[in-house]
Structure 1
Amino acid sequence: MGEFETETKELFDAMVAYNKSNLLATVDKARKAGMDPLEIIGVLGTGMTEVGVRFERGKLFLPHVLSAADAMTAAVKVLEADLPVESASSKIASVVMGTVEGDVHDIGKSIVSTLLQCAGFDVHDLGRDVPTSKFINEIKNGCTMLGMSALMTTSMVVQREAIEKLKEEGLRDGVKVMVGGAPATQAWADKIGADGYGENANDAVQVALSLVKK
């Protein structure tokens, strides 16, 4: 954890505790200690991922997850003033996000969307149970990256179908496609012709950043 080991632990614990006022106070403490704002956001993202894991395991419930998301949004808003001008004012790329049609799981995808916004992406989050046609429309309207989540093996096939649809529409070469979700793997991403795979929320952001540079 380096020189900010104490601050990192406090930030993570505050994020997992999903209390906004406590999190904001902890963020302020880390800022005053000289911790980099992007590093703070990264720790918050790790904590938010843990909140999602606890939700999936039944240890937390939807109101807790919503409280955590609200707290993180407020914290990121505070940190925006500390970000480099290029990070705050310009967008890296426009990405359309969504859970594929037939799947109503939303938490993990929402966490990734939040972290992508923090990283400087213009995010169009379509929510859950999203028809492939809606993804296509967003790409036609200017999005150059597509992130699709699937949390069930039965809905994974829609990720492949969406990529095939992009090819049919002549759009595939102009868009980077990322896939994720519990049953997804790097092997699956390779098999269906996706450009990237994120094992978790933080990994997904790093993959997105690397795809933009290609």
Structure 2
Amino acid sequence: MSAWAEVLKPLLKEGDAADRGTVVLGSVKEDIHDIGKNLVRMMMESRGLHVIDIGVDVPEARFVEAVMEHQADICTCSILLTTTMPETPKVGRAFEDAGIRDKVKILIGGAPITQEFCDKTGCDAYAKDAGSAAEIAIVLCQG
């Protein structure tokens, strides 16, 4: 998958896409899946977003640390397992505890995630797939 992603990446790039913002991307704690996350990264990068991929099984404190370190506009959480869905609101609370929740947008997505879940967890946006994640991230960075 990673090898194909590298082949496709230049083909997806939109001309001379300007830097449109910085995104921290990772799979939530105890979720070790990365294919969807990697597709999101590829789509975001092809649209001119600077993506800091912090990997899989990421605890909420690491999301906060990475956003602060890179002055990211968006924290994007990938969730594949229903058993890891409860980690999502913990990420938001960690940003609140750090005093920077108003400075970062939280974008979530993954197979079990819905708009209703996004609304219940206090996240800012939900993406149903990798392509829409990139589009939503651009809008979030602009506003």
TM-score (norm. length: structure 2): 0.92
Tell me, yes or no, if structure 1 residue 198 matches structure 2 residue 127. Answer: yes
Q: How does 1:99-118 map to 2 (within 5 A)?
A: 99-118=27-46
Q: Give the greater-gyration-radius structure (CA).
A: 1
Count of residue pairs the alignment pairs up? 142
In structure 2, the residue matched to 1:156 is 85
In structure 1, the residue matched to 2:67 is 139
SS in 1 for 2:85: helix
In structure 2, the residue matched to 1:94 is 22
Partners of 2:65 and 2:27 lie apart in 1 by: 15
Q: How does 1:160-175 map to 2 (within 5 A)?
A: 160-175=89-104
SS in 2 for 1:124: strand
Q: Deviations over 1:151-200 (max 9, x none)?
A: 11111111110101111111100001100011110000011111110001
Partners of 2:48 and 2:36 lie apart in 1 by: 19
Shift of 1:66: 2.8
The alignment's C-alpha RMSD in Å is 1.4
- Structure 1, gaps ≥5 residues long: 1-64
- Structure 2, gaps ≥5 residues long: none
Q: Deviations over 1:78-137 (max 9, x none)?
A: x57xx14xx2xx411111000011010100011001110111111000111112121111
Q: Percent identity?
A: 32
Of 105, 108, 116 in structure 2, the residue corresponding to residue 179 of structure 1 is: 108
Q: How does 1:1-214 map to 2 (within 5 A)?
A: 65-76=1-12, 83-84=15-16, 87=17, 90-141=18-69, 142-214=71-143
Amino acid across the alignment from 1:170: G
Of structures 1 and 2, the one with the larger relative CO (CA 8 A, separation 6+) is 2
Q: Deviations over 1:22-71 (max 9, x none)?
A: xxxxxxxxxxxxxxxxxxxxxxxxxxxxxxxxxxxxxxxxxxx2332121
SS in 1 for 2:52: strand
